[in-house]
Structure 1
Amino acid sequence: MWWFTQGLCFLPVFLVVWSSCTFIVSYIIALLRRDVDVLFPYISDTAATPPESCIFGLMTFVSACAGIATIYARFKYVEKLTEETRVETIVTVVHDMGALLFFVSGVLYILLQSVISYSSFPYGTSISVWRARLAVAVIASVAFFPTVICAFLVKQTDQRDLHRDTGSKDYPFHVASAVCEWIVAFSFVCFFLTYIDDFKMFTLRVRTELVS
């Protein structure tokens, strides 16, 4: 039996592969159309103009659905583990608020899952998996702060021109913020890879009951 056919481990694999392709495809299209600079564009900049914005939006929707399914599956897994082992367990302002909410909730989620993994050891998680989750969580947490702080120090550009002036005073802050943003984003994606072993061990069934 192939490992990716065991339990639900195909879910985090699909989420990671698809989400990575989402970032990379929009970046490549934006580069080919010369909409962004080759080095260190913001992820949002690579999806700011059509057609890459349309493709990014569609692929992000699929990623969001896969992410919800993965998070739900993880929740049900922890819930079942707890039962059996008794372990305790385009508007700039809108865009910025949405991005901040995404990063804050993402960091909190992977930190919480790391804590849950430590609390449930050794019933549902090996020590090596917990260490991997903790490492990813720490990287994401550390990279989150320069992402936000440096972004506030960068002058907003015209949405019609996403190229950055390398000679500007705030360019180093832009580079630091953009690099850390990519690190945080891929930390979230890579974190779901640690679910593979867990998802091999269970399946989900949906039961419908009619109430008369």
Structure 2
Amino acid sequence: MVWFMEGICVLPVFLVIWSSSTFLISYIVALLRGDVDVIFPYISDTGTNPPESGIFGLMTTIGAFAGLATIFARYKYVEKICEATTRSRLNRIAFCFGITSCLGMCFIATFQETQNPLVHDIAALTVFLSGETYIILQSIISRRMYPYWSSRTVCLSQTFISAISVFASVTMIVCGVLVKSSKLHWKIHNEQYILHVVSAVSEWIVSFAFVFFFFTYIREFKKVTLKLKVSVHY
């Protein structure tokens, strides 16, 4: 059997590939059409104008549901092996933050930055803050599951990714607040150009950190199967 077909590994593998493709495809299309600059647009900027807005919206929504499925699978895995412990309660809290982040992604996909800036910005902030909290809590859970249900490599990887995303999130938010303009095209001589670039680069780092965090689930998911039970009541 191919490694990514073992257990439910296909969930995080699909999520990582699909989400990465969403960012890159919308960026390439927007760049070829001249809707964004090479260095460095916000991710949302690449999905503002049609046709890339349609591509970005559709792929982001599918990615949100893939994230939901992966988060749910991780939740059930931890719940099964950590019943009646503090890890189980922490797992439920993390699950709620994960669901909130996925819901925020659907709003980002639906409400474009230039058309509904308030809704879009609130949704983006929700995604980043909820997603950040989710991966931090999952890192703590993995550490508490070590050494019986989690490996040292997974714990270190999750801690490293969480640390990078926290630093990048703070940088992104601080610089983003200081940038007064929301225009799509920037020149190096523009005021606040450096702040814009730092904020945009930080957003890309945070987004890919979130995405590749799910790669750390692969080793665990090889041992997991989920079954749907159907009960009919007459």
1:74 counterpart residue number: 74
- AA aligned to 2:56 is F
Equivalent in 85, 88, 91 of residue 86 of structure 2: 88
Write out aligned runs for 1:3-152 (5 A): 3-83=3-83, 88-89=86-87, 90-152=115-177
Q: What is the Cα deviation at residue 165 of structure 1? A: 2.7
Q: What is the Cα deviation at residue 97 of structure 1? A: 0.8
Q: What is the Cα deviation at residue 208 of structure 1? A: 1.6
The answer to whether residue 209 in structure 2 is matched with residue 211 in structure 1 is: no
- Normalised to the residue count of structure 1, the TM-score between the two structures is 0.94
Residue aligned with 1:201, SS: coil
Q: What is the Cα deviation at residue 122 of structure 1? A: 1.5
Cα distance in 2, alignment partners of residues 20 and 80 from structure 1: 30
Q: What is the Cα deviation at residue 87 of structure 1? A: 5.1
Residue aligned with 1:58, SS: helix
Cα distance in 2, alignment partners of residues 123 and 209 from structure 1: 34
Cα distance in 2, alignment partners of residues 60 and 151 from structure 1: 22
2:200 counterpart residue number: 178
Q: Which has the higher contact order (CA 8 A, sep 6+)?
A: 1
Cα distance in 2, alignment partners of residues 211 and 14 from structure 1: 35
- AA aligned to 2:36 is V
- Normalised to the residue count of structure 2, the TM-score between the two structures is 0.86
Deviations 1:173-208 (A, max 9, x none): 100100000000000000000000010001000112
Deviations 1:145-168 (A, max 9, x none): 11111111112235xxx1113212
The number of residue pairs the alignment matches comes to: 207
Cα distance in 1, alignment partners of residues 117 and 189 from structure 2: 24
Equivalent in 188, 197, 217 of residue 166 of structure 1: 188
Q: What is the Cα deviation at residue 169 of structure 1? A: 2.0
Cα distance in 2, alignment partners of residues 57 and 169 from structure 1: 31
- AA aligned to 1:182 is W
Residue aligned with 2:82, SS: helix
Cα distance in 2, alignment partners of residues 73 and 82 from structure 1: 14
Cα distance in 1, alignment partners of residues 13 and 140 from structure 2: 22
Contact 1:107 1:137 in 2 (8 A): yes
* RMSD, aligned α-carbons: 1.1
2:93 counterpart residue number: none
Cα distance in 1, alignment partners of residues 8 and 233 from structure 2: 30
Contact 1:88 1:119 in 2 (8 A): no
Runs of 4+ in 1 over 6 A off after TM superposition: none
The answer to whether residue 216 in structure 2 is matched with residue 191 in structure 1 is: no
Q: Identity of paired residues, percent? A: 52
